[in-house]
Amino acid sequence: MYGKGSWEDGNQSSLGEFILLGVSDRPQLELLLFVLILISYTITLLGNTTIIVVSWLDPHLHTPMYFFLSNLSFLDLCCTTSVGPQMLVNFRRIHKSISWAGCMAQLYISLSLGCTECLLLAIMAYDRYAAICQPLRYTAIMSHRFCLQLVATAWLCSFGNSIVETILTMRLPRCGRNQIDNLFCEGPALLKLACVDTSANEAKLLAGAVIFLLVPLGFILMSYGYIGAAVLKIHSEKGRIKAFNTCASHLAVVSLFYGTAISMYLQPPSSYSQHRGKIVSLFYTMVTPMLNPVIYTLRNKEVHEALQRALKRSVTAQGI
């Protein structure tokens, strides 16, 4: 399809660098996004680090729910750190470049963490199902060893799958094209640079989206179907409200994450809208990780009490 010269041009560009166009055609928007992302990144660091530290230090939070929540917070920290600093730097410089190795790492890490979050949210739904529908057997079902196995499986499967996707995407010949019309290196935007037929890559991307998005989402919906039926059988109104509150935060996070991820990956890259893609990418890489700790702590009395105990210990220690 392409001659030797085209292939060599593709290889040469792959060994150089990429230009992240972002919103460089709108300098005022760049300045606004710089401020907003800086604030968002700072809140994400503070909020998720607080959840991790409090969950680790407070014995009252040594439960499966907060073990999974700590993993989600760590995942969100990694996700925003993998793209946030690069965005902030590029917003403030004229030459908005990223090396080939940096782009590959960014693509691999963002794909891996996205897949991990899909599986982790499904695991958290199962934890809520076990707590509400099997309360007498909950401790036996969600043992510490089983929780570790679930989380380890989620991380390993996601990072293993993303190796294949990253290699297939980065090996595509681009015939000298190196300008990515996005804020960071992302699969659909990189496929747009290819100068060969990308049908096989699109099929692989769609298959991965079905496995890591639709299957876990189906499991989550099924779990909450059982949870809803169990909650309706609770005679006490106070008991129903308590059960609902334990699930409301998780459902909010699921809606935010899956809504944006599905709109991005469950469509052919050939119909990928660059402007909409930038907004969606920004939302699930920077905004959602910022909102997650807020959602989980806003109505969570256990976290509030744990924070109060931590503050009291800190004040007492300083007084001593």
* Of 23-37, 60-74, 153-167, minimum mean pLDDT range: 23-37
Distance CA 281, CA 287 (A): 9
**What pLDDT digit, counting tens, does each position of 87-98 carry?**
888 888 888 888
Single-letter amino acid code for the residue at 188: P
Which of 280, 216, 220, 209 shows the shortest CA–CA distance to 247? 220
Residue 265: its pLDDT value, please? 74
pLDDT at 157: 93
Distance (Å, whole) CA 138 – CA 130: 6
Within 10 angstroms of residue 262's Cβ, the number of other Cβ atoms is 15
Tell me, what's the pLDDT at 129?
93
Percent of the chain with pLDDT over 70: 89
Q: Could you tell me which residues come within 8 angstroms of residue 84 by beta carbon, excluding any fewer than 6 positions away?
A: 37, 40, 41, 44, 285, 286
For residues 269-284, give the mean pLDDT: 68
- Mark out the alpha helices in 186-214 (DSSP H runs): 187-191, 199-209
Do 181 and 192 touch, CB atoms closer than 8 A? Answer: yes
CA–CA gap between residue 13 and residue 177 (Å, rounded): 7
What does the pLDDT read at residue 311?
75
pLDDT in tens, 181-238: 888 888 888 888 888 888 888 888 888 888 898 999 999 999 999 998 888 888 777 7
Spatial CB neighbours of 145, under 8 Å, sequence gap ≥ 6: none
Q: Name the average pLDDT for the chain.
A: 83
pLDDT at 5 over 50: no
Distance of alpha carbon 224 from alpha carbon 218, whole angstroms: 10
pLDDT greater than 70 at residue 3: no
Which candidate, 230, 229, 210, 217, places its Cα nearest to that of 122?
217
Write down the pLDDT at residue 318.
65
Q: Which two tokens stand for residue 86?
A: 């690069």
pTM for the predicted model, two decimal places: 0.85
Higher pLDDT, 6 or 130: 130
Query: Quick one: pLDDT at residue 100?
Result: 87
More confident residue, 274 or 27: 27
pLDDT of res. 14: 42
Q: What are phi and psi of 38, to 5 degrees?
A: -60, -45
Are 289 and 77 in contact by the 8 Å Cβ rule? The answer is yes
Give SS3 for 186: coil
Confidence class for position 108, pLDDT limits 50, 70, 90:
very high
Q: Where residue 272 falls among pLDDT bands split at 50, 70, 90?
A: low
Q: What is the pLDDT of residue 52?
A: 92
The pLDDT of residue 275 = 66
Residue 69 pLDDT class (50, 70, 90 cuts): very high
Higher pLDDT, 316 or 147: 147
pLDDT of 6 reads: 38
> Which residue would you say has higher pLDDT here, 302 or 289?
289
pLDDT of residue 41: 93
Listed by start position, the domains of the chain span 4-313
Rounded Cα distance between 190 and 107, Å, is 9
Q: Whose CA is closest to 117, among 234, 285, 303, 244?
A: 285
Mean pLDDT over 26-42 rounds to 87
pLDDT for the residue 233: 82
CB count, 10 Å around CB of 147? 18
Asked whether 265 and 209 are in contact (CB, 8 A), the reply is yes
Burial of 6 from C-beta contacts in 10 A (0-12 / 13-18 / 19+): middle
What is the phi/psi pair of residue 316, to 5°?
-60, -45
How much is the pLDDT for 30?
A: 83
The two structure tokens encoding residue 83: 């793209």
What's the CATH number for 4-313? Answer: 1.20.1070.10
Distance CA 317, CA 320 (A): 5
The pLDDT of residue 59: 84
pLDDT tens for 123-171 read 999 999 999 898 899 999 999 999 999 999 999 999 998 998 898 888 8
Supply 24's token pair. Answer: 């460089």
Cα 149 → chain centroid: 20
Say what the alpha-carbon torsion angle 80, 85, 90, 93 is, to the nearest 10 degrees. Answer: 160
